[in-house]
Amino acid sequence: MLVVKEDNRVIYEAPLSRLRTVRLERHIALSSDLVLACAARGIKLVFLDWRGVGVSELSGTYQHAVVKVRKSQFDFINSENSCSLAQEVIKTKIKNQRAVLLY
Protein backbone atom coordinates (compact mmCIF):
# COMPACT_ATOMS: atom_id res chain seq x y z
CA MET A 1 0.00 0.00 0.00
CA LEU A 2 1.29 3.45 -0.93
CA VAL A 3 0.47 5.92 1.86
CA VAL A 4 1.00 9.66 1.42
CA LYS A 5 1.15 11.71 4.60
CA GLU A 6 1.39 15.41 5.35
CA ASP A 7 2.05 16.48 8.93
CA ASN A 8 1.40 12.89 10.15
CA ARG A 9 -2.03 12.99 8.50
CA VAL A 10 -2.88 10.48 5.75
CA ILE A 11 -3.96 12.36 2.62
CA TYR A 12 -3.82 9.52 0.05
CA GLU A 13 -3.70 5.72 -0.04
CA ALA A 14 -3.43 3.40 -3.04
CA PRO A 15 -2.71 -0.32 -3.42
CA LEU A 16 0.59 -0.92 -5.22
CA SER A 17 -1.10 -3.43 -7.52
CA ARG A 18 -2.99 -0.52 -9.13
CA LEU A 19 0.06 1.65 -9.82
CA ARG A 20 2.36 1.74 -12.86
CA THR A 21 4.25 4.92 -12.10
CA VAL A 22 4.78 7.12 -9.06
CA ARG A 23 5.81 10.73 -9.74
CA LEU A 24 7.64 12.48 -6.94
CA GLU A 25 7.91 16.24 -6.64
CA ARG A 26 10.62 18.14 -4.80
CA HIS A 27 10.79 18.03 -1.01
CA ILE A 28 9.19 14.58 -0.78
CA ALA A 29 10.62 11.95 1.54
CA LEU A 30 10.17 8.27 0.76
CA SER A 31 11.16 5.06 2.44
CA SER A 32 13.50 2.40 1.14
CA ASP A 33 10.67 -0.08 1.70
CA LEU A 34 8.61 1.81 -0.89
CA VAL A 35 11.49 1.77 -3.37
CA LEU A 36 11.94 -2.01 -2.93
CA ALA A 37 8.20 -2.69 -3.17
CA CYS A 38 7.91 -0.63 -6.37
CA ALA A 39 10.98 -2.31 -7.88
CA ALA A 40 9.56 -5.76 -7.16
CA ARG A 41 6.32 -4.85 -8.93
CA GLY A 42 7.83 -3.03 -11.91
CA ILE A 43 6.51 0.35 -10.76
CA LYS A 44 8.63 3.28 -11.98
CA LEU A 45 9.55 6.11 -9.64
CA VAL A 46 9.89 9.39 -11.57
CA PHE A 47 11.46 12.40 -9.89
CA LEU A 48 10.24 15.81 -11.08
CA ASP A 49 12.00 19.17 -11.01
CA TRP A 50 10.44 22.49 -9.99
CA ARG A 51 8.70 22.75 -13.39
CA GLY A 52 7.11 19.30 -13.09
CA VAL A 53 9.44 17.83 -15.70
CA GLY A 54 10.88 14.38 -15.08
CA VAL A 55 14.62 14.49 -14.48
CA SER A 56 15.31 11.01 -13.13
CA GLU A 57 13.64 7.61 -13.09
CA LEU A 58 14.14 4.51 -10.97
CA SER A 59 12.86 1.17 -12.14
CA GLY A 60 13.51 -2.31 -10.86
CA THR A 61 15.01 -5.22 -12.71
CA TYR A 62 11.61 -6.88 -12.85
CA GLN A 63 9.88 -5.98 -16.09
CA HIS A 64 6.78 -8.17 -15.89
CA ALA A 65 4.78 -6.40 -18.58
CA VAL A 66 7.66 -6.36 -21.08
CA VAL A 67 8.31 -10.07 -20.63
CA LYS A 68 4.62 -10.91 -21.09
CA VAL A 69 4.38 -8.81 -24.26
CA ARG A 70 7.49 -10.39 -25.79
CA LYS A 71 6.26 -13.90 -24.93
CA SER A 72 2.90 -13.13 -26.55
CA GLN A 73 4.67 -11.82 -29.65
CA PHE A 74 6.76 -14.98 -29.99
CA ASP A 75 3.67 -17.14 -29.44
CA PHE A 76 1.83 -15.18 -32.14
CA ILE A 77 4.61 -15.80 -34.68
CA ASN A 78 3.87 -19.53 -34.54
CA SER A 79 0.08 -19.11 -34.72
CA GLU A 80 -2.11 -19.39 -37.81
CA ASN A 81 -2.96 -15.67 -37.71
CA SER A 82 0.62 -14.47 -38.23
CA CYS A 83 0.47 -14.78 -42.04
CA SER A 84 -2.80 -12.85 -42.30
CA LEU A 85 -1.39 -10.07 -40.11
CA ALA A 86 1.75 -9.87 -42.26
CA GLN A 87 -0.41 -9.63 -45.40
CA GLU A 88 -2.49 -6.80 -43.90
CA VAL A 89 0.62 -4.89 -42.84
CA ILE A 90 2.13 -5.20 -46.35
CA LYS A 91 -1.12 -4.14 -48.04
CA THR A 92 -1.42 -1.12 -45.78
CA LYS A 93 2.20 -0.10 -46.38
CA ILE A 94 1.68 -0.31 -50.16
CA LYS A 95 -1.49 1.82 -49.93
CA ASN A 96 0.33 4.37 -47.79
CA GLN A 97 3.30 4.50 -50.17
CA ARG A 98 0.91 5.01 -53.10
CA ALA A 99 -0.75 7.91 -51.29
CA VAL A 100 2.65 9.48 -50.60
CA LEU A 101 3.72 9.13 -54.24
CA LEU A 102 0.46 10.58 -55.53
CA TYR A 103 0.82 13.54 -53.22
Gap between the Cα atoms of 88 and 4, Å rounded: 48
pLDDT of 13 higher than 90: yes
Domain match, 13 and 52 both: yes
Count other C-beta atoms under 10 Å from residue 28's C-beta. Answer: 11
Over the chain, what is the mean pLDDT?
88
Domain match, 49 and 86 both: no
Domain match, 7 and 24 both: yes
**CATH of residue 28:** 3.100.10.20
Domain match, 41 and 79 both: no
Q: What angle do CA 31, 34, 36 make, to 5 degrees?
A: 110
Domain match, 54 and 12 both: yes
In which domain, by residue range, is 93 found?
Answer: 64-102
Domain match, 7 and 50 both: yes
Closest by Cα among 78, 74, 44 to 61: 44
Tell me the average pLDDT across 14-28: 90
More confident residue, 90 or 62: 90
CB 44 within 8 A of CB 57: yes
Please tell me the predicted confidence (pLDDT) of residue 11.
Answer: 94
pLDDT of 90 higher than 90: yes
Whole-number percent of the chain with pLDDT over 70? 94
pTM above 0.95, yes or no: no
